[in-house]
Structure 1
């Protein structure tokens, strides 16, 4: 790995390079910080190509940079050895600033929402599909996979709840209808995991990372990911302030009431996926830290469901999940 880094950086053998592992991110990738000389540093990534989206990251980085969406610069990429060398943006992300004064956080989130709007505004007809690969876009299959992921790994795996055939059928009908409504909210490039740990902050400006799962889908999915993020807490008026700011990009297209409903329904879909992921990563992959985010994720999901009138079966199920999590037998 060091040999690859030297070649990509143009450093001679006489320059000592130190390598330090960084915490994993649950995506079958290993991260290392390389340092040399006085202030030189870069991030070395080794990825598992069997997780196909990992192989898309390099080309997506180049594409996003070309359309002026701020991302870390790709310094070098060895596809055969599954190695990438990336610009080092430091250690500060939106999550690290979760306790900062609201005035500071508000400005950074507004900048992030502006960046995300630039991504969402890119015309699908102009996407260079022959050069840049994407994961399958949101549609009936992916929405169904997400809700099954939620049922298998959170409802069953974490909460120990087994759904009867009648309840399962009613819930499936309700959530399939939700997916149909989301499919009608527009189609754009979406990050797919737009949460606070995937927005780095350098010199007061946001940079997107971990976008290997990018695809076409509802832009509201990204908005729900960011503004209903279980990793950070918002007061209700803080979230409303950011949602109102975001509506400024949409007011020519949608009525405010419709916009809010789209946001909350997409947030429900996203939070189901997140809770399924926390259960899978925590229980199946041994990444126990993800289990600690389940209470906040469930609270946010209950809140999002309460803002809609179309999901009574899901609300009933979530009440049962909340009771199960309060059981002392479940250790999070």
Structure 2
């Protein structure tokens, strides 16, 4: 590990060279002369990531590189959700990074290195045929994960005990109001506007709460899908919980990081519905599924805007601010598709001037 890496204030490593060399040597059964540790750019989480390059004294079976995920603090004696869900998904043959080792006492997770190319980056230079191919793969993978994980989940998986109920969904809406409307936009809502907004958001969340429960990744989008060995690998699954079938599909197809044409979104929703019918061996009401998909998209996009605003206004991280405008446009477009949700549309337009523009 070079000295620059060790002193980088943004990386804050808690490890040293002897620890890495001894740990990797023990893992792969060979002597390690040294380890290069390169910090990677952080995301909105409190975890830190490092790419490790071990220098083996002799050629053996150890990987040329691997990832070290440093948790914000150790959780000794506790079962870490990321590790438990990784084992659950890997046991279902869902493509997730392989877990080499979890050091609970120190708060380090050693993982397979799946490269640097996210789906978002891969799509930047794609033609239409390539884009369609990648999204077919992502939709197929999501349908497969959702079906098998929902069928096989048991109480030993953390996601089993968590769900997107009205309380959780409304907590996210209140977070958006606090950090986007009142925080980033610095707007003081009148009691009338505030009450109307929360009333219609509560109605939206209650409608979503009534949907059948499925395993949801919770953050299934183009920045959490890595392109590796000509396929896709899923990251950031530690917050999985039970929720509507449409949750992850909305996250993927109404993605704040890569905007897709509505006609293309419609085609991919059709594909998912067809796969769902095949896997569950039952009919699916396509119109109803699409209706809930749109409602889930609105809630999911509002939640994302709250997160982006929090990062900008509270944390001082402006990386996500450019994502707010396209996400608002998703909401604006989707609301116009459903006359029976005019009340929600008017309430949001009253609270968020950009939506009425």
- Give the TM-score, by structure 1 length: 0.89
d(CA) in 2 for partners of 1:20 and 1:196? 23
Aligned residue number for residue 203 of structure 1: 229
d(CA) in 1 for partners of 2:296 and 2:321? 23
Q: For the Cα contact (< 8 Å) 2:38–2:52, is it kept in 1?
A: yes
How far did residue 216 of structure 1 move? Answer: 0.6
Higher relative contact order, chain-length normalized (CA < 8 Å, sep 6+)? 1
Using a 3 Å threshold, how does the CA distance of structure 1 residues 181 and 62 change in structure 2: closer, same or farther? same
Aligned residue number for residue 12 of structure 2: none
Aligned residue number for residue 299 of structure 1: 329
Render the CA deviation track for 1:153-211: whole Å, top value 9, x for unaligned: 11211222222222222222212121122123321110111111001111221111001
Aligned residue number for residue 330 of structure 1: none
Q: For the Cα contact (< 8 Å) 2:176–2:302, is it kept in 1?
A: yes
How far did residue 145 of structure 1 move? Answer: 0.3
Classify the secondary structure of the residue corresponding to 1:109.
helix
Aligned residue number for residue 82 of structure 2: 57
- Give the TM-score, by structure 2 length: 0.83
Q: For the Cα contact (< 8 Å) 1:54–1:212, is it kept in 2?
A: no
Using a 3 Å threshold, how does the CA distance of structure 1 residues 236 and 33 change in structure 2: closer, same or farther? same
Classify the secondary structure of the residue corresponding to 2:158.
coil
RMSD of the TM alignment (CA)?
2.6
Aligned residue number for residue 71 of structure 2: 47
Matches within 5 A, 1:229-308: 229-251=255-277, 252-308=282-338
How far did residue 123 of structure 1 move? Answer: 6.0
Q: For the Cα contact (< 8 Å) 1:98–1:233, is it kept in 2?
A: no
d(CA) in 2 for partners of 1:186 and 1:80? 39
Once structures 1 and 2 are overlaid, which stretch shifts more, 179-188 or 305-314?
305-314
Aligned residue number for residue 312 of structure 1: 342
Q: For the Cα contact (< 8 Å) 2:196–2:347, is it kept in 1?
A: no
d(CA) in 2 for partners of 1:242 and 1:69? 20
Q: For the Cα contact (< 8 Å) 1:77–1:84, is it kept in 2?
A: yes
Classify the secondary structure of the residue corresponding to 1:233.
coil
Using a 3 Å threshold, how does the CA distance of structure 1 residues 89 and 123 change in structure 2: closer, same or farther? closer
Render the CA deviation track for 1:80-127: whole Å, top value 9, x for unaligned: 111001000001111002221121121121111122112221365742
d(CA) in 2 for partners of 1:116 and 1:236? 19
Using a 3 Å threshold, how does the CA distance of structure 1 residues 113 and 320 change in structure 2: closer, same or farther? same
Using a 3 Å threshold, how does the CA distance of structure 1 residues 321 and 277 change in structure 2: closer, same or farther? same
Render the CA deviation track for 1:28-75: whole Å, top value 9, x for unaligned: 100001113497010101012599x99310111111000111100001
d(CA) in 2 for partners of 1:297 and 1:54? 35
Count of aligned pairs between the two proteins: 325
Classify the secondary structure of the residue corresponding to 1:189.
strand
How far did residue 287 of structure 1 move? Answer: 1.7
Aligned residue number for residue 182 of structure 1: 208
How far did residue 237 of structure 1 move? Answer: 2.0
Instruction: Give unpaired runs (5+ residues) of structure 2.
Output: 1-14
d(CA) in 1 for partners of 2:219 and 2:259? 17
Larger Rg: 2
d(CA) in 2 for partners of 1:199 and 1:127? 22
d(CA) in 1 for partners of 2:96 and 2:192? 47
Once structures 1 and 2 are overlaid, which stretch shifts more, 156-165 or 225-234?
156-165
Aligned residue number for residue 94 of structure 1: 119
Using a 3 Å threshold, how does the CA distance of structure 1 residues 14 and 227 change in structure 2: closer, same or farther? closer
